[in-house]
Amino acid sequence: MQHNIYLYLFVMAAVTYAIRVLPLTLIRQQIQNRFVQSFLYYVPYVTLAVMTFPAILGATQIPIAGALALGAGIVLAWCGAGLFSVSAACCAVVFLVELVLCR
pLDDT of residue 64: 94
Query: What mean pLDDT value characterizes the chain?
Result: 91
Mean pLDDT of 58-65: 92
Question: Helix 83-101 and helix 63-78: axis angle, to 10°?
Answer: 150
pLDDT of residue 28: 82
| pLDDT confidence tier of residue 15, bands split at 50, 70 and 90 | very high
**72 lies in which domain range?**
5-101
Element holding 73 (H helix, E strand)? helix 63-78
How far, in Å, CA of 58 to CA of 85, rounded?
22
**Pick from 66, 101, 74, 73: nearest CA to 87:** 73
Please give the share of the chain, as a percent, with pLDDT higher than 90: 70
Number of domains the chain contains: 1
